[in-house]
Amino acid sequence: MKLKIIIGSVVIAVFVIFGAISFMNSNVEYTDFAKAEKLGKKVQVKGAWLRNKESQLDTKSGQFIFYMKDDNNKEEKVILEGGKPNNFEIATSIVAKGRYKDGAFHASEILTKCPSKYEGDASAVKKTL
């Protein structure tokens, strides 16, 4: 009977440790480019795509390269491992998940916020009132 309790306790401890490690890896904080450069760990940076600067898809390396401005107006080169995200051209803001290294922000994932199709024209509503 004691062997079953010991094995059960070990299995539970392993799952608790695995869950804690998984949670710590998935918990990524929001920051800006300046702090991301200092931290050197995986973070999320919210900002806007700089449409007036060059962006390109490098088919040899499989990277999408573009420039982004964070909420503190700091501009950085962003290198995304993979192709251009869906709805990138119509995004009102973007969130880049990754880390700063080698003079650029290397993103593993890009989230896009697009304008809602359900938002109407507020001035048209005011005219009817």
Residue 17 in domain: no
CA angle 62/114/58 to nearest 5° reads 15
Q: Has residue 71 been placed in a domain?
A: yes
Cα 70 to the chain's mean position, in Å?
A: 12
Give me the tens of pLDDT residue by residue for the chain, a chain 129 residues long.
Answer: 688 888 888 899 998 888 878 777 666 778 888 888 888 788 899 999 998 998 888 888 889 999 999 989 999 999 998 888 888 888 888 999 998 888 889 999 998 887 766 665 556 555 555
Q: What angle do CA 85, 96, 106 make, to 5 degrees?
A: 95
Query: Domain count of the chain?
Result: 1
Q: What is the pTM of this model?
A: 0.68
∠ CA 61-77-37, rounded to 5°: 110
Distance CA 96, CA 100 (A): 11
Measured in whole angstroms, the distance separating CA 81 from the mean position of its chain's CA atoms is: 12
**Residue 98 CA from chain centroid, whole number:** 6
Domain that holds residue 35: 30-113
| Residue 2 belongs to a domain | no
User: Is residue 36 included in any domain, yes or no?
Assistant: yes
Domain assignment present for 15: no
Residue 107 maps to a domain: yes
CATH of the domain at 86: 2.40.50.140
Q: Is residue 8 part of a domain?
A: no
Cβ 46 vs Cβ 93: under 8 Å: yes
CB neighbour class for 98 (10 Å; exposed up to 12, middle 13-18, buried from 19): buried
**Among candidates 26, 34, 74, which has minimal Cα distance to 50?**
74
